[in-house]
Amino acid sequence: MQIQQNFSLKPYNTFGIDVKARYFSPFSNVEQLTQLSKGVLADTNHHSPFTIHNSPLTTFVLGGGSNILFTKDFDGLVLKNDIRGIEIVKEDNEHIYVRVGAGENWHQFVLFCIKNNWAGVENLSLIPGNVGASPMQNIGAYGVEIKEVFHELKAFHLHEKATYTFGLKDCQFGYRDSIFKNTYKDQFVITDVTYRLNKFPNYNTSYGAVEQELERMGVKQLSIAAISQAVINIRTSKLPDPAEIGNAGSFFKNPSISKEKFQDLTSNPDSYRGQNIVGYENMDGTVKLAAAWLIEQCGWKGFRRGDAGCHERQALVLVNYGNATGKEIYDLSEEIRQSVREKFGVELEREVNII
């Protein structure tokens, strides 16, 4: 365990933003994390988990860096979670419970499940990042969210220096949301996650694009491997690969509005006359809009200023073509929000964590 100083974070965020961390330390087990909090950087202020030379030090937990936008240098300690390991903890007739270290790569874990014929995560194939962020973000794609296969997680409290177990209800999962993004923001380091996978698959092909792709692939016998491949094909066809163009996936969440507001948007001649406005009714009667569609209608799709841009195939994805700064991308996102607000009266909320 080595603490680096003035450490470049460019290779550690998929936006490829060139910022530095004042301190950077990887850790590969809970003991090292505890040691970091107790020993290497002496704790003399209980309000701050870590201090150095007696002054409080802000900390940031880093996974794969695929859902963050650094807007400036980070004047604190970046804790890079490298906890590895996959083990079966129990099984019954229908399920297999698998505990996975937070530093394991998410997609590699998905492939491991498919190889073992454990179902439940196949629709979440090819999502970048690590296991530790999966409950933090309640990652979702193609009709499935992580909460559906979540059993429990362990998390280390940075102030108390103690490990707690969180079950499904404790995590308060929502759309791209959990208790770790609000009430417990910046307080816990998730160290491992236990998933409850299915021995008998319950295929989810409800997302139109998945069904179409399976048909195009000529799949006769549905399997988790086929669904995974269909999802991989769809994703590679429309989402930019961060290895080629810096990005963090969807920059905004898809907003939900009331049914009345939706009707107003589709029919009121004094409002927006877009009869093709894309909306899906939620369980609670509100309507979820496709943020990508709203952004495209405002003319941003394919827009580029310097190296900051809005992707030409997916308007919800902001991109760094090379040397954009985090601030340039953030400012672009602010302009996009403003124009969507002006044209549709709809507020876009950022999905990406701004640091």
- Please identify which residue in 9, 139, 158, 319 interacts with ligand FAD, judged by CB under 6 A: 139
**Binders of ligand EPU in range 250-269 (CB under 6 A):** 250, 253-254
Length of the chain: 355
Of 34-42, 52-60, 248-256, 332-340, the window that binds ligand EPU (rule: CB under 6 A) is: 248-256
Shortest Cβ 22–ligand FAD spacing (Å): 16
Asked if residues 323 and 304 have their Cβ atoms less than 8 Å apart, the reply is no
The one of ligand EPU, ligand FAD, none whose footprint includes residue 36, by CB under 5 to 8 A per kind, is none
Enclosing H/E stretch for 23: strand 20-27
Shortest Cβ contact with ligand EPU: which residue? 249
Q: Does the protein bind ligand EPU through residue 351 (CB under 6 A)? A: yes
CA dihedral 119, 123, 126, 128 (to 10 degrees): -100
DSSP 84-138: --EEEEEE-SSEEEEEEETTSBHHHHHHHHHHTT-BS-GGGTT--SBTTHHHHHT
176 in active site: yes
Asked if residues 288 and 254 have their Cβ atoms less than 8 Å apart, the reply is yes
Angle made by CA atoms 111, 190, 51, in degrees to the nearest 5: 140
Shortest Cβ 180–ligand EPU spacing (Å): 16
Given the residues 250, 328, 333, 337, the one annotated as active site: 250
Q: Does the protein bind ligand EPU through residue 142 (CB under 6 A)? A: yes
Helices (H) and strands (E) in the chain, counts: 8, 21
Q: Does the protein bind ligand FAD through residue 76 (CB under 6 A)? A: no
Q: Does the protein bind ligand EPU through residue 134 (CB under 6 A)? A: no
Q: What is the DSSP letter of 49?
A: S
351 in active site: yes
Q: Does the protein bind ligand EPU through residue 290 (CB under 6 A)? A: yes
Q: Does the protein bind ligand FAD through residue 227 (CB under 6 A)? A: no
Asked if residues 324 and 10 have their Cβ atoms less than 8 Å apart, the reply is no
Phi and psi at residue 153, to the nearest 5°: -140, 160
Residues near 102 by Cβ (< 8 Å), separated by ≥ 6?
63, 81, 83, 130, 131, 132, 189, 190, 191, 192, 193
Q: Does the protein bind ligand EPU through residue 325 (CB under 6 A)? A: no
Q: Does the protein bind ligand FAD through residue 291 (CB under 6 A)? A: no
145 in active site: no
What type of residue sits at position 32?
Q
Of 135-143, 157-165, 276-284, 336-344, the window that binds ligand FAD (rule: CB under 6 A) is: 135-143
**Binders of ligand FAD in range 102-121 (CB under 6 A):** 102
Q: Does the protein bind ligand EPU through residue 298 (CB under 6 A)? A: no
The one of ligand FAD, ligand EPU, none whose footprint includes residue 9, by CB under 5 to 8 A per kind, is none
Closest CA to 57 of 46, 67, 65, 49: 49
* Catalytic positions: 176, 250, 351
**Contact set with ligand FAD (CB under 6 A):** 14, 60-68, 81, 102, 127-130, 132-134, 136-137, 139-141, 188-190, 239, 242, 247-249, 353
